[in-house]
Copies of this chain bind each other. A is one copy, B any other.
Amino acid sequence: MSLNTRSWTDPETGALFVVTGASGTGKTTLVQAALTAIPGITFSVSATTRPIRDGEQDGVDYHFLDRETFMSKVDAGEFLEWAEVYGNCYGTLRAPVEAARAAGRSILLDIDTQGAAQVRASGVEHLSVFILPPSMDALRARLSARGTDDDQVIARRMREAHLQLSECGHFNHLVVNDDLASAHHQFQAVLVAELTRSSRHPALIKRFTD
């Protein structure tokens, strides 16, 4: 599906999208296609305590922070969400997200249910989408079909998936990845619709009400 979002679809105030889904639900595929198709939506640049690698740029790939700085920002409430993974901290700073939105750009966060719960708790205005498999059986079939993992790994992934999926009712929109074309369509519809929200277009309204 090709999108042609013209001038007035570009909002004055961008949206913050939170997208979550269990492993094996095709979330990454859906997100990548949407970011390609819809202008004006990008990933946020995360902050992290892990060391910078060759070829990475501070402020482009990540905001690289030492642990002390990172934790002081956590304490100051400067993160919309953060988590520690294998000894390194990763998170989304509130300020660059707000700056992007104020400039009319929209931000998409691809995070798990714990991160999404933190964003909800932060009180920041956002729209959340959960990508669902058609059923737990369908998810098990997909994880098994990869063929590279033993039963124990699949069982662990299923437990993790169930933990994630049990939170889906807290999300604004649900997209079931049954038929991939439909899932693409529905997911992109949620994003595009949010960009047409009247609260994002005060100058457009002013044009017709003055």
Contact = CB atoms under 8 A, between A and B. Distances in A.
Interface in A148-193: 162, 165-166, 168-169, 171-176, 178-179, 181-182, 185-186, 188-190, 192-193
A197 B135 CA distance: 18
A186 B196 contact: yes
A40 to B, nearest CB: 13
B173 A193 contact: yes
Considering residues A5, A134, A192, which has the most beta carbons from chain B within 10 angstroms of its beta carbon?
A192
A5 B186 CA distance: 8
A201 interface: yes
Q: Copy number in this complex?
A: 2
Interface of A: 1, 3-9, 130, 132, 134-136, 162, 165-166, 168-169, 171-176, 178-179, 181-182, 185-186, 188-190, 192-194, 196-198, 201, 204-205, 207-209
B4 A185 contact: yes
Contact of A207 (B5, B135, B181, B209): B135
Nearest to A169: B205
Given A186-B196, A190-B196, A193-B189, A165 B209 contact: yes
Nearest to A1: B1
A194 B186 CA distance: 10
Counting from the closest, the 10 A-B pairs by CB-CB distance are A193-B193, A189-B192, A8-B176, A165-B208, A189-B189, A169-B205, A190-B193, A173-B196, A189-B193, A4-B182
A181 B132 contact: no
A4 B204 CA distance: 32
B198 A172 contact: yes
B9 A168 contact: no
Nearest to A193: B193
